[in-house]
């Protein structure tokens, strides 16, 4: 429900059209609905609460420099502002819970500069585009999300890790060196921050400022191979995820799934039905070692591929994506929680008993395995009780069944109070 008086909203809308052009502002209901939804429906708990909010209007800035004037105008008229990238988040981060304005940054896509070890781009640039540009210059991104079509701003403000996490951790671990952001303090100028100052803007859903431009780290391009392997049982594949993740040079990705989940993935000879699948992006220098490790553990190499499309395919089968494919087979039946820690391997039998119909998707992480634990959904209480049991087993758990900022919370809250004194930036996400 909107928190904006209609008369004030009408004046704001008219001024916004003058500021950015009428073709960059929409009050069309279909556009508002599209701008007010993400993949929160992956959570049956959140899906039962949808819609969480509906935008009153949407603005599509064509460049980063338009963002601060837009936010300043919204502050002048007390209109809530929610940023949006490509809408690929899973937790309702980009849903405008108090209505108002959604700033859709998908048209602000310029790659502004690339140098030795860094790249500067606008928030709406796709991560796949940035990886391609870096590759043309003999470099690669430190990391990119499993949904490669995500925007840079969306990944930084709402995401965490992905392909490259094994070597570099999350996007809060040095990936971002500088940001240009719009605060909600009345200023119509972007504010530049760098170094440790960027921390309170990352994974903060825009409550501390709207990301307009970012400088992120690159590294020398490596010669990658896609290694597709299978095992008779998931228990055979499970320890290999952790072992392959420790190879040097570090892999870019290592994922494994149980046969039931494999059967829901798009057909491919690299992961035959009826067997557990182990998929990885391996530096060519470590390929022979990886193959030997898999075969010594009783696995079978199904295929070895190379080229950018191979990395993109393997990324699209990592993190939340197997859960998405599983849920498509039986809408409303399954849920998941995000899990991590060596207990996923060392205490797998116990972990696997926590939820009815348990199916673990596992990844090699930066320090320990991470993954998605899927189960058959019965009730919110079942989900939350299971989270408590998992933590008792030594499993780290992040719940995808809530929409509020849950990392670096006190620092984010303190910073938001300074740069958004009226609480207009993505309201409802700081609780």
Phi, psi (deg, nearest 5) at residue 232? -65, -40
144 and 163 in contact (C-beta within 8 Å)? Answer: yes
| H or E segment to which residue 47 belongs | helix 44-47
What is the number of alpha carbons within 13 Å of residue 368 lying toward its C-beta?
Answer: 11
DSSP string, 294-336: HHHTT-EEEEEE-SHHHHHHHHTTSTTHHHHHHHHHSTTTEEE
What is the pLDDT, as a whole number, of residue 3? 72
Nearest to 224 by CA among 190, 247, 195: 247
Residues 6+ apart with CB under 8 A from 134: 114, 119, 140, 141, 218, 221
Distance CA 266, CA 181 (A): 39
123 and 151 Cβ atoms separated by less than 8 Å: yes
Beta-strand runs (E) in 248-299: 253-257, 276-283
Q: What is the separation of C-alpha 430 from the centre of its chain, rounded to a whole number of angstroms?
A: 19
pLDDT for res 136: 98
pLDDT given for residue 4 in this prediction: 77
Please tell me the distance from the alpha carbon of residue 147 to that of residue 158, in angstroms, as a whole number. 12
Contact 241, 363 (CB under 8 A): yes
- Neighbour tally for 267: CB within 10 Å: 9
Residue 71's pLDDT is 98
Identify the DSSP state of 250. P
To the nearest 10 degrees (0 to 180), the angle between helices 6-20 and 67-76 is: 160
Q: What pLDDT, on the 0 to 100 scale, is given for residue 1?
A: 55
DSSP state of 160: -
> What is the DSSP secondary-structure string of 78-140?
T--EEEESSS--SSSTT--TT-SEEEE-TT---EEEEETTEEEEETT-BHHHHHHHHHHTTEE
Q: Are 180 and 212 in contact (CB under 8 A)?
A: yes
Residues in the chain: 431
DSSP 251: P
> Which has the closest alpha carbon to 335: 378, 305, 291, 366?
378
User: Would you tell me how many other CB atoms lie within 10 Å of the CB of residue 24?
Assistant: 18
DSSP secondary structure string, 192-240? EEEGGGGGGGTTSTTTT-EEEEEEEEEEE---EEEEEEEESSHHHHHHH
What is the pLDDT, as a whole number, of residue 217?
Answer: 98
- Interhelix angle 127-136/308-315, rounded to 10 degrees, is 150
Please report the domains of the chain, with CATH numbers, ordered by start residue.
6-104 (3.30.43.10), 111-221 (3.30.465.10), 224-398 (3.40.462.40)
pLDDT along the chain (431 residues), means of 10: 80 97 97 95 94 96 98 98 92 94 98 98 98 98 94 96 97 97 97 97 97 98 98 98 98 98 97 98 98 98 97 96 96 97 98 98 98 98 98 97 93 97 96 86
């Amino acid at each position: 429900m909107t928190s904006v008086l209609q008369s004030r909203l009408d004046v704001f809308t008219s001024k916004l059209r003058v500021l950015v052009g009428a073709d960059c502002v929409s009050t069309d209901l279909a556009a508002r609905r599209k701008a007010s939804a993400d993949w929160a429906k992956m959570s049956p708990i959140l899906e039962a609460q949808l819609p969480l909010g509906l935008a009153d209007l949407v603005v599509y800035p064509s460049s980063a420099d338009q963002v601060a004037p837009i936010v300043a105008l919204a502050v002048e008229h007390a209109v809530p502002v929610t940023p949006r990238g490509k809408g690929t988040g899973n937790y309702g981060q980009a849903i405008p819970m108090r209505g108002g304005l959604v700033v859709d940054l998908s048209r602000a896509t310029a790659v502004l500069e690339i140098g030795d070890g860094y790249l500067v781009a606008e928030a709406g640039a796709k991560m796949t585009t940035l990886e391609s540009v870096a590759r043309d210059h003999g470099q690669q991104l430190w990391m990119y999300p499993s949904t490669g079509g995500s925007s840079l701003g969306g990944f930084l403000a709402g995401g965490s890790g992905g392909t490259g996490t094994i070597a570099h951790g999350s996007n809060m671990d040095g990936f971002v060196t500088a940001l240009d952001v719009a605060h909600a303090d009345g200023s119509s100028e972007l504010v530049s921050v760098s170094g440790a100052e960027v921390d309170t803007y990352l994974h903060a859903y825009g409550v501390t400022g709207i990301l307009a431009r970012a400088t992120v780290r690159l590294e020398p391009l490596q010669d990658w191979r896609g290694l597709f392997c299978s095992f008779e049982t998931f228990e055979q594949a499970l320890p290999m995820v952790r072992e392959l993740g420790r190879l040097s040079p570090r892999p870019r990705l290592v994922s494994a799934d149980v046969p039931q989940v494999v059967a829901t993935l798009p057909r491919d000879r690299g992961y035959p039905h009826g067997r557990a699948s182990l998929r990885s992006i391996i530096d060519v220098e470590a390929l022979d070692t990886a193959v030997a490790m898999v075969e010594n553990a009783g696995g079978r190499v199904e295929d070895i591929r190379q080229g950018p499309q191979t990395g993109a395919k393997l990324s699209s089968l990592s993190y939340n994506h197997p859960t998405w494919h599983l849920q498509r087979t039986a809408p409303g039946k399954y849920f998941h929680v995000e899990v991590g820690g060596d207990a996923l391997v060392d205490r797998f039998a116990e972990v696997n008993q926590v939820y009815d119909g348990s199916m673990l998707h596992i990844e090699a992480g930066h320090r320990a395995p991470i993954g998605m634990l899927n189960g058959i959904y019965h009730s919110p209480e079942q989900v939350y009780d299971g989270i408590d049991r998992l933590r008792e087993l030594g499993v780290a758990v992040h719940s995808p069944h809530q929409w509020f900022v849950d990392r670096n919370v006190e620092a984010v809250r303190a910073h938001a109070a300074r740069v958004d004194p009226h609480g207009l930036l993505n309201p409802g996400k700081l609780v």
